[in-house]
């Protein structure tokens, strides 16, 4: 009785077929080497698309003033929109600065945190609409919590993205500087302070949120915009 586990011997390949198999294997190896780079490019494109959509959704939340009496509320909504817009623009710029020159080979952990960051930023239109409807302390606090979570996720993306690079390079000081660490601590503490302030003076807290992207974008040296 024939053994079921027995296998037929592989047919002998010709020299031409063997060369084709070798070339195919080399293509697979080369594709695997280039895959992380392509993933980084696709992730950047995904970030651009999601953030652009979120910005568009926020501006659609502004209601036109049907009567002159509503014009003041209309201007207030525009100001709130600009705060959320500049916050998103700063996140977009920071992600661009991280992925383009540094996180050129993102791993799965970076992808997971990046997706969570985009999901968190996608909540900003809801939070912005809430504040436009009623600028209460609870509404501004929830806006601040979403913003704080986004800042933490951005730091995690930086840390795990650079950790992979640092394992393959001894030039650690290029990637994480003291200025970048102090910047991250300052931004997080400022976020927490504004959340507490929102409980007492919601309007002042909301206006103060415009300070964070301004500090991050205009008053931070390029070599410390890493975290």
Distance CA 182, CA 185 (A): 5
Burial class (CB in 10 A: 0-12, 13-18, 19+), 175: buried
pLDDT (tens digit, 9 = 90+) per residue, 188-211? 898 999 999 998 999 899 988 988
pTM listed for this prediction: 0.76
pLDDT (tens digit, 9 = 90+) per residue, 48-92? 999 999 999 999 989 888 888 789 899 999 999 999 999 999 999
Please give, one letter per residue, the 3-state secondary structure of 140-164: HHHHHHHHHHHHHHHHHHHHHHHHH
pLDDT (tens digit, 9 = 90+) per residue, 87-138? 999 999 988 888 766 666 778 888 999 999 999 999 999 999 999 988 889 9
Query: In this predicted model, which residue has the larger pLDDT, 127 or 23?
Result: 127
- Is a pLDDT exceeding 90 seen at residue 213? no
Residue 64 DSSP class: P
């Amino acid at each position: 009785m024939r053994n079921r586990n027995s296998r037929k011997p592989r047919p002998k390949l010709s020299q031409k077929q063997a060369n084709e198999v070798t070339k195919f294997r080399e293509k697979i190896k080369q594709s695997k080497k280039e895959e992380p780079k392509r993933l980084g490019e696709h992730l950047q494109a995904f970030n651009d698309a999601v953030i652009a959509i979120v910005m568009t959704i926020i501006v659609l939340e502004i209601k036109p003033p049907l009567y002159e009496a509503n014009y003041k509320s209309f201007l207030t909504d525009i100001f709130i929109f600009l705060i959320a817009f500049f916050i998103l623009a700063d996140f977009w710029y920071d992600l661009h600065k991280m992925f383009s020159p540094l996180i050129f080979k993102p791993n799965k952990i970076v992808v997971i945190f990046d997706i969570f960051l985009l999901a968190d930023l996608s909540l900003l239109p809801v939070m912005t609409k809430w504040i436009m409807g009623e600028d209460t302390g609870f509404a501004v606090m929830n806006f601040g919590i979403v913003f704080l979570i986004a800042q933490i996720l951005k730091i995690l993306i930086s840390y795990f993205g650079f950790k992979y690079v640092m394992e393959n390079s001894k030039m650690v000081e290029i990637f994480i500087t003291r200025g970048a660490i102090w910047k991250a601590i300052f931004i997080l503490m400022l976020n927490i302070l504004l959340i507490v302030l929102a409980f007492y003076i919601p309007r002042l807290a909301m206006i103060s949120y415009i300070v964070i992207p301004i500090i991050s974008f205009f008053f931070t040296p390029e070599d410390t915009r890493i975290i």
